[in-house]
Amino acid sequence: MAPMDASPALVETLRRLEEELLQPEVRHSRAALEARLAPDFVEIGASGRTWDRPPIVAALADEEPAAGRVGGLAVRLLATEIALVTYRAAHDRGDGSPPSVTLRSSIWRRDPDGAWRMTFHQGTRVG
């Protein structure tokens, strides 16, 4: 089955969730992260390190606060309840230099309770 275009409402829902996950107040909150990341969550970070949910929740709680911005977001439905989100994230470095940029891809799943939760994420540094 070929990927399907997502509805505008779904694109906005997943954009909001991705943007929230870039904000310090969400990244530093165990409850907020656990509400957005599926129990079987896996990430391949920009560093190449692989994470699952408990270690990434702990690591994000200790990171320096720096909000990110989302650009060029696209959403494709892979199945009725599974979506692929791709975008560019820019993070200010805080030293006046150009922001760091990563290409990001996430797989989101709508769980039986109706909530969308991220099951996979990968970031690749480009700048």
For 12-71, how does the pLDDT look when each residue is reduced to its tens digit (9 = 90+)? 999 999 999 988 899 999 999 999 999 999 999 878 899 999 999 999 888 876 778 899
Give the end-to-end CA distance of the chain in Å, rounded to a whole number.
Answer: 35
Residue 90: pLDDT band (50, 70, 90) is confident
Domains, in order of start, for the chain: 4-125 (3.10.450.50)
What confidence score (pLDDT) does residue 3 get?
56
Handedness of CA 68, 54, 106, 34 (dihedral sign): negative
Percent of the chain at pLDDT above 90? 65
Q: Provide the pairing of β-strand 82-91 with 68-79.
A: antiparallel
Percent of the chain at pLDDT above 70? 94
